[in-house]
């Protein structure tokens, strides 16, 4: 995994609450056996007017020229709810997004994002509202997200603090392989297994 330290980029807004993973990547794209190539299907039913994905919906923000190249998504509460499909962060990352900012996230999506180096940032309702207003007001508005200082800097220079579990921050900053880390405890796992009662083996 690539380390995540700090990122500055163009922001795009999806001003809806409860954006579920069925919207982020609909089921018809879950039959692939690889992790790549999901970005083209990101938000398919909102982004395209037809099933084949040939006719972009001009009213959907991701299709608007002013948001082309966006790498930070700002949305509303309970982002990523529903299905556990990791195809959702795969699609967001493959599209080119590095950071999702929202007042709250669903638990499974939050963990899946961190495991893919996609940073989920929780800010307050008021801070998200301010970011959205600033991004809308100025074409090309960029946001900075710094994982070392745990700050988000808005286009106008307002600085917001955010929190993330120290363990997740450490893994993201260093781009660590979670499995490799856990396997360094293989002996402890083996000892634990010896202590499991017979009925639970």
Which residues make up the interface to another protein (CB under 8 A)? 16-18, 20, 22-23, 26-28, 30-35, 45, 51, 76-78, 81-86, 89, 104, 106-108, 111-112, 115-116, 165-168, 170, 178-179, 181-183, 185-186, 188-189, 192-193, 196-200
* Bridge partner list, 81: 20
18 vs 153, which CB is nearer to another protein?
18
27 vs 68, which CB is nearer to another protein?
27
For residues 12-41, one letter each, b for 16 or more C-beta atoms within 10 angstroms of the residue's C-beta and e for the rest, the string is bbbeeeebbbebbbbeebeeeeeeeebeeb
**Does residue 7 contact residue 66 with C-beta atoms inside 8 Å?**
no
27 vs 55, which CB is nearer to another protein?
27
Least CB distance to another protein at residue 30 (A): 5
Least CB distance to another protein at residue 153 (A): 25
CA distance 151 to 144: 8
28 vs 156, which CB is nearer to another protein?
28
Q: Helix or strand or coil: residue 174? A: helix
Least CB distance to another protein at residue 118 (A): 11
**Does residue 43 contact residue 88 with C-beta atoms inside 8 Å?**
no
């Amino acid at each position: 995994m690539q380390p995540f330290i700090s990122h500055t980029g163009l922001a795009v807004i999806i001003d809806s609450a409860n954006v579920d993973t069925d919207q982020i990547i609909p089921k018809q794209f879950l039959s692939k056996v690889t992790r790549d190539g999901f970005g083209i299907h990101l938000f398919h039913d909102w982004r395209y007017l037809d099933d084949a994905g040939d006719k972009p919906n001009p009213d959907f923000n991701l299709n608007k020229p002013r948001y082309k190249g966006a790498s930070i998504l700002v949305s509303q509460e309970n982002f990523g709810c529903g299905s556990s499909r990791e195809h959702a962060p795969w699609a967001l990352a493959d599209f080119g997004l590095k950071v999702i900012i929202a007042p709250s996230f669903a638990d499974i999506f939050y963990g899946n994002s961190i495991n893919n180096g996609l940073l989920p940032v929780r800010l307050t309702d008021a801070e998200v509202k301010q970011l959205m207003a600033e991004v809308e007001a100025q074409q090309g508005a960029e946001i900075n997200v710094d994982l070392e200082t745990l700050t988000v800097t808005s286009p106008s220079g307002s600085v917001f603090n955010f929190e993330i579990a120290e363990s997740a921050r450490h893994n993201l900053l260093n781009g660590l392989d979670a499995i490799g880390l856990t396997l360094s405890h293989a002996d402890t796992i083996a000892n634990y297994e010896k202590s499991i009662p017979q009925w639970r083996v």
